[in-house]
Structure 1
């Protein structure tokens, strides 16, 4: 830290002296913005954000972590990469032990409320937090995080591949309170409507009143490049553009006619 502070001068040379109370003179020129000074500032800021330092001093777990880098770098130790890696692993383990009492234990449960909310009384385990972030929206954060279930959030979970039974089982497994009826009704209601309308991509279509002819086209191996699929008894959709579809069907011996958008 001392080296980094030395690399980050507080004012450029030739600046005026500080005020009598020790504060920086407001008329002083700004600190130099050369690359070395900025790198030093970034390093100090990131060290504090990561908890390696606190209020300008190395933390206890930060000191334990750095101890793994104090060995194996002197003369005769440059090739001892295995020993250095082992020392760094031990240092990381010591730092984790020192840091553990300062961090709350991740929780594997939430508290479901009758107003379509869930309260997480602390940080959640990562798989639970990720799953809940899909199923509900964060309403507020603080000592506890409040999630709100809405039709849109439930639909988002269904879009992600979950079924209504999956959602019911997930909530029952991770709630310390019974699943409220309003939440169960919300999931069932959204799931009942979900997927009634289907959206897909199609560049062109083939329409014909003769279903047998469309069956013949689908069965022809030469039509594989057109990526045809049946949308209705008399309609096929294609991933190919209309021009390619027209040429492809003509090459197969059919006589299609182009149809306008109107």
Structure 2
């Protein structure tokens, strides 16, 4: 039978990754786990066992009930017979064996050799658990698992007979073809809007970072600002934020959220490719216990029926199951994977074939994108439809976005043109680009503004201050009147500008902060190095901050490895004593290797009865006599 000793031995054979996943999956927070015996004890505590029961599907719980009914140990055939006696009609020995192996994988049971029950304990070799005769292996529950399961079944759960009964919810009705067309049309609209909203979210954070609250989530003023800029409801901002963060497009730095380097490459993708990245993020986020349910119900409505099926499938799960299903469904609705709780054709394809295949389905359903715009005399640029993403991205470098969506609008201004020139554009390249995309040519006011911006560009220059000066940056200009205007500009008061000479102002802030403050205040500023060469200064990018590790599971793994690798005789003796103490306490049959004075080693299979005075006492199973062995001569212990 199983014991804490056999579990500790099994745990000792795991690699670091498997140990980490097990400890983390069980939610173990006990600080005093110093060796594998402590870990085995922690895994068999009632809260940990209940934690392991929660994600188990109904058939696996029924198989566990069958083992408990057999006193904690049975073959797959015996468990299958028990389930059939309870009314199960769709079980086979093979399927039950798979379910029992799932219990083994969950560290609730293990395969053992030997008799299954007391009737087979005489060692006659005819018991169903006797491995020598080639019979089925025996699956046995670890100590305490059956008791915890029974406690759950008698309390908020259900007995094995009810678990084994089919009672499966009726198959959900498939979405009719006439509804499918409506679902696909609505889903395509949502998918297009979602991809655009995430892009606008990244652009908005580049323009002005958003503050993170201490309790989590974006600050309310920033949420409202972003919702207005994106043209969505405030409650949807959290979903957009989650998608951008999970896709690696934004990152928190300090107390603010900023775009990452990856955002620029993503923004240059086509709309279907953008959506595919976001849909892949959603698919990866679906919990392992929920995803199979969605695949199984891919052609039927979700909503209440899916939540009901999830509760039926995982009867030991707590109230968080509904919450997790709701969260996954809410994100699916926003992305157009579903529409009104019905999976779209793209959503079905996503579940079955992946993001790229799903994006191909949506490509034809998305609105046609345009590569031409109307450039008007009032300095506005109006798109007659959704812009090609690459064109939209370049327009944002030379004009300020005023409206987004299917018909975006922009406005050219001196500061926006200065921004474009700072990014490498010239007056001629701006003229050529606008002329190539304009359906109305290059209006004279726009051409004039380009020439004026190019001529004024660089009248204000900012560079990093000398380290010995105590300042962060220096702003200088040959236009003294312009410099005086900057010095008294209240919009720049936060920079704390102080005169250093008639041609210079200093600030304690670094060059990038001073540069972008001047750009946002509409001054023709250039960033330069110490030799006067122009620098390209990008707005702040988010970089994940190094944080102190809070990975409790990893810390436990490190302690376990340290305990096992303890050098010296003392460490080996401590481990051996823990094994013997556990075997005596649980009356687990063990095989001990004993060193004889002449150098030979003998093995004895004992049922231990006591440990004390440096000696192990137990009944020898082979000769049926009591033996007393000196602990100092025992070299190894293993469960049989």
Under TM normalisation by the shorter chain, which class is it?
A: 0.5 to 0.7
Which residue of 15, 39, 42 corresponds with 2:327? Answer: 42
TM (normalized to structure 2)? 0.24
Change (3 A) 1:40 1:50: same
1: distance between equivalents of 2:327 and 2:423?
Answer: 39
1:1-262 aligned at under 5 Å gives the runs: 1=302, 4-6=306-308, 34-68=319-353, 88=354, 92-93=356-357, 95-203=358-466, 204=468
Task: Classify 1:202/1:126 alpha carbon distance in 2 versus 1 (closer, same or farther; 3 Å).
Answer: same
The alpha carbon displacement at 1:52 in A equals: 0.8
Mapped partners of 1:112, 1:134: distance in 2? 16
Shift in Å, 1:230: 6.7
Is this contact kept in 2: 1:122–1:143, CA < 8 A? yes
1:159-216 Cα distance to aligned partner (Å, 9 max, x none): 22211111111111211220100000001101101013322113158xxxxxxxxxxx
Deviation of residue 97 (structure 1)? 4.2
DSSP-derived class of the 2:381 partner: strand
Task: Name the CA shift for 1:136/1:7 in 2 (closer, same or farther; >3 Å).
Answer: farther
Deviations 1:48-98 (A, max 9, x none): 111110001111221222232xxxxxxxxxxxxxxxxxxx47xx43x3343
Partner SS for 1:103: coil
Corresponding residue for residue 238 of structure 1 = none
| Higher RCO (Cα < 8 Å, 6 or more apart) | 2
**Separation in 2, partners of 1:230, 1:154:** 25
How far apart are 1:142 and its partner, in Å? Answer: 4.8
| Contact 1:136-1:154 within 8 A present in 2 as well | yes
Q: 8 Å contact 1:7–1:37 — kept in the other structure?
A: no
Structure index of larger Rg: 2
| Cα distance between partner residues in 1 of 2:366 and 2:451 | 38
Which structure 1 residue ranges, 4+ long, deviate > 4 Å from structure 2? 228-231
Give SS of 1:200's match: strand
SS for the counterpart of 1:161 is coil
**Distance apart, 1:134 and its partner CA:** 1.4
User: What is the alpha-carbon distance in structure 2 between the residues aligned to residue 7 and residue 192 of structure 1?
Assistant: 69
How far apart are the structure 1 equivalents of 2:334 and 2:441? 39
How many residue pairs get aligned? The number is: 164
How far off its partner does 1:106 sit?
A: 1.9
Structure 2, unaligned runs of 5 or more:
1-301, 312-317, 470-528, 533-640
CA distance in 2, matches of 1:4, 1:48: 14
Q: Are the equivalent residues in 1 in contact too, given 2:386–2:405 (CA < 8 A)?
A: no
Q: Secondary structure at the match of 1:46?
A: helix
Distance 1:229 1:49, change over 3 A: closer
Q: Equivalents in 2 of 1:45, 1:123: separation in Å?
A: 26
Q: Name the SS for the 1:198 alignment partner.
A: strand
Note the aligned Cα RMSD (angstroms): 2.7
- CA shift digits 1:115-168 (9 cap, x unpaired): 111111111112111111111112223541111111111111112221111111
Q: Do the aligned residues in 1 keep the contact of 2:463 with 2:530 (CA within 8 Å)?
A: no
Structure 2 CA distance for partners of 1:8 and 1:193, relative to 1, 3 Å:
farther
